[in-house]
Structure 1
């Protein structure tokens, strides 16, 4: 393993970027500068890993990195870029493995940094990644923090608390649901599309962040330029975002392909409900916003919800069962408790999908309390 501090754009004061060569790929990691030496020397007393969601990168975690390092000097927080995002090597995503390409990358990073176990925090897709890593490698996760997680049964295409597939091929999930105007603007790194910073085009990266990733808002957020920059680090290709797709005769006539990140989150390939069966059950903190329209029981990114609301009167079979993501997550975590684990659910009022960005103080407080319940173990 080789790792080194590297120059990187868009870093806040006090944050450093590392490139770490693992057994799988070269991975970009952000760390508070004051913690970098301990991390590189393999002397970190306690490591907290922050895993971003789709259409994002480690850049969005910089405020949380600095706040964690300030509040708990014994903690070394790091934020990683997944393949296809940020500064990590853009290796292709095999969607048929679900999120395992990403979770195996995370575990390889811990190996390369000589970290036997870490506290894992994931947002949205990243929550599915850290849960997948905890299920596949019992004992590597000391605690889990799930911020607005994708369902334990992937994204879209299932019904009921047990996550039953609505069609055998998971029709309506995967890359086929992409708004292609957004994908084009993302590839062009056009922050605002035809609009402006104050009034961006709806399907521009900035417009999507304001309308969907946060509780709807007309005015810019204080760190919004950084968030948009993080989104625009996404690699747009059939191997990354959004991926390839297949035709199906069932509504809405597309099914997930075998490549790319959106297909990797399809319920045809993705799930993490088997965390319940793991011999090691780390304590879980689940945080979500009550105005989340992405990971919710009526997600506006769920083809079934959109079809049922707008197309059902005119297109046969357009009304299909929606994917109750929050209810499915709660059902699986309740099973986790019955199996001997424990979890805490925290709902933030007036907050959308990006809980750590919209309510950073409340998230930090809950995370610190969660970490403090598990004492620091020295090597």
Structure 2
């Protein structure tokens, strides 16, 4: 089994670092927040002959040229970057596999370039209404979208990423985030060092992670700015709900871990959940700021989509199904891709 190789591909937007393996029908693997293309390394090795896997580092992550993220465009900086990558690589159509935030980027790419998409695989994908501060129907809890955006990040985690912290001394240490949030329990953690290094390779600052913020008169008294990652996935700028009616009618597989602590109807990264648990003071109550039902929101949009949908729910699996259960994930993905080719 050959190993993936790293390449730098210069597009008309920026220079993109990729991990690649194979030759044949292209599959674009899109990583999530606090990660990089290297997260897909094992899955690239599992690809059967006849497929070419490409796993880029998104703008602001890994070794891709550190261009700023314009949050007012939602996920489009990333989807446009991927479209530019496909263009320079002369790829007219591909399968797309997106994880977490990368699932949202995959959906945005499909909305913007439907003719390029042969199938979609959404893994632990984010809500179509962004991350934080929305009610079940996707409407904001506050008129200024308070409770989402750059100001909701844990400042200690941000500092520790910036300082390259590889310790486990604090709950906010990147290593503890991997252990406590990426997997259901310590004994199920895999590839810990690789996931920590990918997190530490991300860019920090107002133009990157987490982004800038604005004071708010609504709890938790901070609302989105216009720059950086967490503002780009704020519901102020991110709305993929049109995918239900405008997404390409290609085969979609939605795979989700039942023990996901990050993308969930009670996400431990959502201030509505944390306020309800008493971890963030001053929570105004469920009527004013409920936990965001991220999984339910995505389910409603995908089930309204006109194309074929298969839902795979993994019991005992957390936020990184393809890392926690690499063999099983690879087999499931291979079946989906083979079905999509028929």
**Does the CA-based 8 Å contact 1:214-1:292 persist in structure 2?**
yes
Tell me which of 50, 53, 57 is aligned to 2:32. 53
Aligned equivalents of 1:85 and 1:307: distance in 2? Answer: 30
Task: Report runs of 4+ in structure 1 exceeding 3 Å deviation.
Answer: 219-222
Tell me, which stretches of 5 or more residues in structure 1 are unaligned? 1-11, 36-43, 196-200
Residues 116-169 of structure 1: CA distance to partner in whole angstroms, max 9, x if unpaired? 011000100000001100011111110000000000110111111x31111111
Is 2:117 the counterpart of 1:141?
A: yes
**Residue aligned with 2:129, SS:** coil
Is 2:95 the counterpart of 1:119?
A: yes
Question: What pairs up with 1:158-237 in 2 under 5 angstroms?
Answer: 158-160=134-136, 162-192=137-167, 195=169, 201-217=170-186, 219=187, 221-237=189-205
Give the equivalent residue in structure 1 for 2:307. 341
Tell me how far 1:278 sits from its aligned partner.
2.5
**Residue aligned with 2:253, SS:** strand
**Does the CA-based 8 Å contact 1:95-1:258 persist in structure 2?**
yes
Residues 67-126 of structure 1: CA distance to partner in whole angstroms, max 9, x if unpaired? 01xxx2110011000011011001000001111100110111000100001100010000
Tell me, which stretches of 5 or more residues in structure 2 are unaligned? none
Scaled by the length of structure 1, what TM-score is found?
0.86
Residues 219-277 of structure 1: CA distance to partner in whole angstroms, max 9, x if unpaired? 58442111111111110111000100000001100001100001100001012221223
Give the equivalent residue in structure 1 for 2:8. 19
**Does the CA-based 8 Å contact 1:171-1:250 persist in structure 2?**
yes
Give the equivalent residue in structure 2 for 1:39. none
**Residue aligned with 2:262, SS:** coil
Q: Choose 201-210 or 220-229, whichever is displaced more.
A: 220-229
Summarize the Cα distance change of 1:305–1:220 in structure 2 as closer, same or farther, 3 Å threshold.
Answer: closer
**Does the CA-based 8 Å contact 1:251-1:318 persist in structure 2?**
no
Tell me which of 322, 326, 329 is aligned to 1:356. 322
Give the equivalent residue in structure 2 for 1:41. none
**Does the CA-based 8 Å contact 2:2-2:45 persist in structure 1?**
no
Give the equivalent residue in structure 1 for 2:282. 315
**Does the CA-based 8 Å contact 1:170-1:255 persist in structure 2?**
yes
Give the equivalent residue in structure 2 for 1:83. 59
The structure whose Rg is larger is 1
Tell me how far 1:315 sits from its aligned partner.
2.8
The CA RMSD over aligned residues, in Å, is 1.7
Give the equivalent residue in structure 2 for 1:7. none
**Does the CA-based 8 Å contact 1:311-1:318 persist in structure 2?**
no
Aligned equivalents of 1:235 and 1:62: distance in 2? Answer: 21
